[in-house]
């Protein structure tokens, strides 16, 4: 769990991280959230009385209006966890609740790569593929809190790969760091495959996405093809969002952007080939700027927005 204090201009004053230890149950987890908030406030040399509002962002399926995590696959055995109400009652402060990818997108929109645009789509590239969509000051949550699940758009149904969600043909099954490693391992397992990556397959934990991108940069043909295919899959997902949302900007975040400028240029190349000419020319494709802070900065943006709405309602 990561918590930070953010000022009214979207600047992070500090941050702290604590282990989630999801296996210890949701009651422990809720209190751990609150402890991370307390520690962040203390690290900023502030008191809780200095805090205007709190924003909480979590992964997994959720009911955003109700403030509840429903059944998060990576936080077992949590189920139907009343996050927002618990935190709000504990601190007696206005508390906003949001999906973690949505929050990261809102953070980049508020004070990161998208601070000068009106709309953006953010892809988070890590173990999976997350997404957030911002139009104006609105986070696109969807009617059932499942808007912007772009990692599970279908990009291949002829011979689809199975996704971690159990379904087939999802973008995440092709373009996440997990998928990059899996596709590379399959290529290495073919008879006659040649690659410097073979020497790394016996290392502890096996090869990583970072290894694959590094090998590609060093001229390894097999690794380069994996990277090229990954950039194409991301371009397909990006083009679909450009043709659906028509945003000012598409932002890529997460561990895979450490691949550097070459990877981004490959995505741009494929988008120019796939997209309609006008959005292909006008939509900015960039890397995120806030790194691992985007989520809590975006959560704070949601809290700030909630507080402003409450102030406006009182004036009326």
Average per-residue pLDDT for the chain: 96
Range of the domain at 191: 113-288
| pLDDT (0 to 100) of residue 224 | 98
Q: Tell whether 86 and 7 lie within a shared domain.
A: yes
pLDDT tens figures, 273-287: 999 999 999 999 999
Same domain, yes or no: 297 and 283? no
Pick the closest to residue 70 from 82, 53, 85 (CA basis): 82
Q: What is the pLDDT of residue 28?
A: 97
Q: Both 95 and 241 in a single domain? A: no
Instruction: Please list, in sequence order, all residues whose beta carbon lies within 8 angstroms of the beta carbon of residue 15, skipping any fewer than 6 positions away.
Output: 2, 3, 4, 40, 43, 293, 296
274 shares a domain with 174:
yes
What average pLDDT does range 117-146 have in this prediction? 96
Residue 133 has pLDDT above 80, yes or no: yes
- Per-residue confidence at 163, pLDDT binned at 50, 70, 90? very high
Q: What is the sign, positive or negative, of the torsion defined by CA atoms of 268, 269, 275, 280?
A: positive
pLDDT confidence of residue 72? 86
Same domain, 203 and 66: no
Work out the pLDDT band at 125, boundaries 50, 70, 90: very high
- pTM equals 0.94
Would you state the pLDDT for residue 90? 98
Q: Are residues 278 and 135 in the same domain?
A: yes
157 and 252 co-located in one domain:
yes
Is the pLDDT at 158 greater than 80, yes or no? yes
CATH number at residue 187: 3.30.420.40
Q: Are strands 119-125 and 249-253 parallel, antiparallel or unpaired?
A: parallel
Whether 134 and 185 share a structural domain: yes
Number of domains the chain contains: 2
The per-residue pLDDT for 141 is 95
The verdict on 78 and 137 lying in the same domain is no
Same domain, 120 and 249: yes
Same structural domain, 46 and 171: no
Is the pLDDT at 175 greater than 80? The verdict is yes
Angle at 81 between CA 79 and CA 84, to 5 degrees: 160
- 316 pLDDT more than 80: no
Band of residue 2 on the pLDDT scale cut at 50, 70, 90: very high
Residue range 197-211, pLDDT digits in tens: 999 988 888 899 999
* CA of residue 206 relative to chain centroid, distance: 24
Per-residue confidence (pLDDT) for residue 314, from 0 to 100? 84
Judgement on whether residues 49 and 64 belong to the same structural domain of the protein:
yes
């Amino acid at each position: 769990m990561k918590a930070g204090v953010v000022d009214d201009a979207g600047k992070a004053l500090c941050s702290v991280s604590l282990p989630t230890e999801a296996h210890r149950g949701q009651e422990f987890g809720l209190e751990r959230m609150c402890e991370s908030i307390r520690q962040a406030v203390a690290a900023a040399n502030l008191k809780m009385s200095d805090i205007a509002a709190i924003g909480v962002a979590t992964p997994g399926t959720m009911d955003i209006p109700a403030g509840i995590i429903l059944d998060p696959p990576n936080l077992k055995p949590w189920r139907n966890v009343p996050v927002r109400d618990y935190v709000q009652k504990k601190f007696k402060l206005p508390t906003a609740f949001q999906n973690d990818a949505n929050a990261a997108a809102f953070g980049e929109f508020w004070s990161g790569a998208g601070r000068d645009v009106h709309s953006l789509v953010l892809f988070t590239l890590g173990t999976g593929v997350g997404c957030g969509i911002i139009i104006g000051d609105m986070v696109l949550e969807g009617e059932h809190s499942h808007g912007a699940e772009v990692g599970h758009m279908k990009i291949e149904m002829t011979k689809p790969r199975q996704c971690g969600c159990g379904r087939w043909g999802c973008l995440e099954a092709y373009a996440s760091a997990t998928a990059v490693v899996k596709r590379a391992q399959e290529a290495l397992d073919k008879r006659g495959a040649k690659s410097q990556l073979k020497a790394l397959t016996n290392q502890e934990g096996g090869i990583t996405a970072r290894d694959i991108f590094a090998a590609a940069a060093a001229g390894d043909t097999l690794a380069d093809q994996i990277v090229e295919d990954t950039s194409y899959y991301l371009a397909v997902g990006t083009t679909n969002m450009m043709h659906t949302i028509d945003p000012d900007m598409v932002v890529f975040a997460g561990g895979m952007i450490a691949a550097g400028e070459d990877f981004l240029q490959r995505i741009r190349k494929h988008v120019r080939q796939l997209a309609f000419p006008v959005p292909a020319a006008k939509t900015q494709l960039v890397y995120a700027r806030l790194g691992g802070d985007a989520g809590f900065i975006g959560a704070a943006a949601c809290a700030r927005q909630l507080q402003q709405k409450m102030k406006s309602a009182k004036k009326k």
